[in-house]
Structure 1
Amino acid sequence: MIGALLILCCAVGAELGGPFIIKTIIDKHLTEGPGELAPVLWLLAAYMGLLLVAGAGNFTQSYLLQSTALQIIKNMRMDLMRHIQRIPLNYFDNTPIGQIVSRIANDTEAVRDLFMSFMATFVVSFVQLLGIFTALFILDVRLAMFCLLLPPLFALIMYVHLKYSKGYIAVMRARLSDMNAMINESIAVMPIIQAFRREKKTIEEFESLNEDRYANQIKQFRVFSLSSRNIVGTIGSLVTALVIWYFGRASLETSIMFGVFYAFIDYLGRIFQPIIGIFDQLTNAQRAFVSAEKVFAIMDMDGKEVEDASGAKRPEGVVKFDNVTFAYKKGENVLKGISFEARRGETIALVGHTGSGKSSIMNLLLGFYEPNEGAITIDGADIAGMSKQELRKHMGIVLQDPYLFAGDIKFNVSLYNKNISIEQVKSALKDVGAAPFVEQLPSGYDEQVVERGSTLSSGQRQLISFARALAFDPAILILDEATASIDSETEGLIQRALKVVSEGRTTLVIAHRLSTIREADQILVLHRGEIVERGNHDELMAQGGRYFKMYQLQKGEKAAPEAAKEIKNA
């Protein structure tokens, strides 16, 4: 940056030296007559040389400033992306995805404008004003002292401009984030929007956001139009008229060299160009400041480092919850005194109505949240003392709504893990019963899958998701209602595969289909955040309690209506 400033000063100095050279030419022509051309030619050559230096300096200065700005923003964008990986999961639960995308893409780009436009303009303008006022003092001290009143006046105008336009720009950036969030949500749920004929309502909501952004942009432009070129041009014209009057009056009293008059008017006119340049970039600067506030608000959030877990020892898989209590919001406990133990090779099933706390138990085990009371241990070690990467290295998870990334089948199973070979990928797909349909695809294991896997059926996506979990050979396997969207035939395939893959592993299953957990070693029945029953299938059926009634309800037996009523009233 120091080199850029030196080049900048040379370029500006070369540019500002022009009027002095022209003044000298005029004065020599008036004093020595038209016959002395040699000195004039030397001065013209010097002027041309200065112009070439100014051109080279401007190019170098612009290149250095912009390349530096691009480097800064590239690093900022990467720092933001890395920090997002460290932020707790609850931030993403409460923040629309589109807003986060807007922070990384749009807001960092706006910060780039601060360096590439405003900073370059501000530095150039400052050096130009410094040189101009130096020249003015050399030409006429009294008038130069009067011109010193201009910078404070323009600074006051800029302050008023910034004060009134900042609020408008903040609303504009907020609406842009809201629009991005809405676009992202609309695309993700487009089938629902069209199925329920919500197209017009969605457009109206988007139009409302767009109209609000437009209205604030118009207000901001109105402030800009009143306080930028308009007022600077008016003040510039008045000051120029005053200077002409001053020199005209002085010419009646004393003789004034015409070169001095020309140079002073030229430099005076140059004062207003850098001021206008700064005004023109104020909007970019304010947009950058507002965007920077949003970016640094994320960067300032507490997060945990993504640590290297390559040397993490594979656990036996003994999972223990000891009197665990947890609340997403203070005072609203979703888990109350949860205690259970799952040993290696055991399958533990969690059942209960929606909101009973099943998924919360899994979220705590995966380290997405921290318990308010109690402890969770793996092989006797409290997971609170482990890094998240070490904790999750030997865990596999399959969700109810499987997500496939854009890429081929084998990538979606291995996720480019170098330790998973193509043979292991094929073996995992075979174990879960997915190999037959994958091999029938046109490109087989190299078949491209669009984002979210929309070209495959729900059952096929779920099978690939199962294969992904198995390929990583987890010590602890978590199935979060993983069979909810699978047909009976596919369910049978997965049930057979699970008997093989769960051997030697600790498996925790959240299930709504009670038929899928009949072989579980232990079934925990949750109700309002508490374990109200526990045991295997036969033991719970013999108790005739909540699990018995839930099973009857799903099997459609005669007592189902009464069971449903009892469960509802419980």
Structure 2
Amino acid sequence: MQKPSTARRLISYALVYKFRIIGALLILCCAVGAELGGPYITKTIIDQHLSTGTHTMAPVLKLLGLYMGLLLIASICNFSQAYLLQSTALQIIKNMRMDLMQHIQRISLRYFDNTPIGQVVSRIANDTEAVRDLFMSFMATFVVSMMQLTGIFVALFILDWHLALFCLVLPPIFALVMVVHLKYSKIFITIMRARLSDMNAMINESIVVMPIIQAFRREKVTLEEFEVLNKDRYVNQLKQFRIFSLSSRNIVGTIGSLVTAMVIWYFGRESLTTVISFGVFYAFIDYLGRIFQPIIGIFDQLTNAQRAFVSADKVFTILDMEGQEVEKTDKVSRPEGVVKFEDVTFAYKAGENVLKHISFEARKGETVALVGHTGSGKSSIMNLLLGFYEPDEGSITIDGRDIRKMSKQALRKHMGIVLQDPFLFAGDIKFNVSLYNEEISLKRVKNALRDVGAASFIEQLPNGYDEQVVERGSTLSSGQRQLISFARALAFDPSILILDEATASIDSETEGLIQRALKVVSEGRTTLVIAHRLSTIRDADQILVLHRGEIAERGNHETLMALGGRYAKMYQLQKGESAVVG
């Protein structure tokens, strides 16, 4: 099915507030009418004053009063329409941002794996802001300009229809100039928006990895890379401004001067043969000068409109991506936690399988450990279990139910996960454990932190459990962050607990605390562990040794050590390294 155009989709957002927009446009009509009445009243004052030859001021004062009244009405109407139109535009963009943010929650992780974070931020922040300009500036300018042009030509025909016919040539000329302007300007605006997105992505990446940049003295290289993007945007912006300067005020001003000269010549010639009204001459020149103001206004807003359409294309590209609805999980029952992989094959890229025919079962209360060298497929198994990706072949079941038939929210409701690189949100410590889940009380938060051995250092902080944590928890040590992330998983009381190399960045003392806590919290739960330190999984019920996406060995610690295969060699190597270090 063909997708609707960008213009139609923008109109659909505007139609939600159609009555407010129509009201603003009606007020706008009143303002334009009041403004256009000024020159005609001035013409009447001049003609009356010259025709009577007297200096009676009463009629003039009445007309002046009417003129001032119209200006006051126009001022009030302009304020009202501007407020209505701009507040409506803000509402439209607020809705668009919410739609975009909601849809991002539904998109597959594949998109985020291949898209820099800064580009996504640019879509939500910068591109929607550019669309706002379309509703706030261009719409008002375009409507006002069209109404003004219509009213001006009506007035010109009333004053002198012969000359007004000649002036009808102007709109097609300006329309042609606008088409040429839009054609060439779009090329540079598209590049400018792309470079802005790339710059945002690079800035975001640079801030996140600033310690690495400074440690490896990459400041100069980073600046040079940024300068390339910045200069390319600058060059294209200059080219776009060059087109704008040549095709807007320059052409309009030149044509306007020529037409004004022609009108003066026309009235001068007529005055030699017939008597003409000086009021008509003044009003015609005044209205003619007003023709070029709305044209220039439209030209001035064309860049904003084009930028808005380019940005809207990028926003709607994300909204068109396939996503899955975020479903409610109020009625989802707690599973037993029996996890089964049956002949699972998976590839991030077609033809490059990272998992090959993986089969195993983890029963309730068991701990299954996955070990292997980097790239062997350990994290891919966890990604499949969490529903971040779908297997290409085979099936994954929980309590005998295929996870592909479950909503992602229902699948993950009773899962807890602790990553190797723990992430803490900006907020206090108790929030980072409960994540504002109403079912998790402060007592439950404290118990979880106590179970993992984190209560001792938290209670020594100035504000205790209310201590504020900056983004990513950079004010805490890696071990402290990891303990809090453990407490977060335990507070949610999952049926299935996933530990993705969760003890890799923890010191030996903290590791001892974690090991004691895990023995308690793992009881009655299915626990899957990706292990970096083999000493932490000696008590696992089942150990799967992965090699190039396949299960090379399986069994408990004693069985695998007796086998003398890959696991035994890895364990002996780590044990030997520990001895050397000690």
TM-score relative to the length of structure 1: 0.97
- In the alignment, which of 301, 304, 314 is matched to residue 324 of structure 2? 304
CA distance in 1, matches of 2:248, 2:577: 80
Question: Which of 266, 273, 277 is residue 253 of structure 1 equivalent to?
Answer: 273
Distance 1:384 1:505 in 2: 22
Q: Does the alignment pair 1:510 with 2:530?
A: yes
> 1:548 aligned to 2:552?
no
**Can you list the C-alpha shifts for 1:69-91, whole angstroms capped at 9, x where unaligned?**
11101111111111110111111
After the TM superposition, which parts of structure 1 deviate over 4 Å for at least 4 consecutive aligned residues?
none
Q: Quote the offset at 1:284 in angstroms.
A: 1.1
Deviations 1:429-469 (A, max 9, x none): 11111111111111111111111111111111101110000
Distance 2:82 2:391 in 1: 54
The answer to whether the aligner puts 1:22 opposite 2:42 as a matched pair is yes
The answer for the alignment partner of 2:12 in structure 1 is none
**Which residue, out of 365, 372, 375, partners 2:385?**
365
2:104 match: 84
| Aligned partner of 2:58 among 15, 38, 49 | 38
Deviation at 1:39, TM superposition (A): 2.5
What secondary structure sits across from 2:397 in the alignment?
A: strand
Tell me what 1:218 maps to. 238
SS class of match (1:367): coil
Deviation at 1:41, TM superposition (A): 2.2
SS of the equivalent of 2:358 reads strand
Are 2:449 and 1:421 aligned?
Answer: no
Separation in 2, partners of 1:541, 1:214:
64
**Unaligned stretches of 5+ residues in structure 1:** 561-570
Aligned mates of 1:441, 1:145 — CA distance in 2: 83
Q: Which residue of 1 aligns with 2:140?
A: 120
Q: How many residues align?
A: 559
Q: Distance in 1 between matches of 2:242 and 2:260?
A: 27
Q: 1:79-478 alignment to 2 at 5 Å? A: 79-478=99-498
Q: What is the SS of the residue equivalent to 1:556?
A: helix
Q: Provide, for residues 71-127 of structure 1, a one-character-per-residue CA deviation record: whole Å limited to 9, x for no partner.
A: 101111111111110111111111111111111111111111111111111111010
Percent identity, please: 83
More displaced 10-residue stretch of structure 1: 467-476 or 303-312? 303-312
SS at 1:112's partner residue? helix
In the alignment, the residues of structure 1 paired with residue 484 and residue 82 of structure 2 have an alpha-carbon distance, to the nearest angstrom, of: 52
Distance 1:36 1:420 in 2: 86
Distance 2:511 2:23 in 1: 69
- How far apart, in 2, do the equivalents of 1:497 and 1:525 lie? 25
Q: Distance between the aligned counterparts of 1:168 and 1:86, measured in 2?
A: 33
1:72 matched to 2:92? The reply is yes
Deviation sequence 1:530-560 (CA, Å, 0-9, x none): 11111111111111111111111111189x9
| Residue pairs, 1:481-560, within 5 angstroms | 481-556=501-576
Distance in 2 of aligned mates of 1:391 and 1:496: 28
Task: Tell me the residue number matched to 2:68.
Answer: 48
In the TM superposition, what whole-angstrom CA distance separates every residue of 1:395-443 from its partner, at most 9, and x where no partner exists?
0000000001111111111111111111111100111111111111111
- Secondary structure of 2:421's match? coil
Gaps of 5+ in 2: 1-20
Shift of 1:360: 0.4
Which letter does structure 2 place at the counterpart of 1:425? V
Rounded Cα–Cα distance in structure 1 between residues aligned with 2:502 and 2:171? 69
RMSD: 1.2
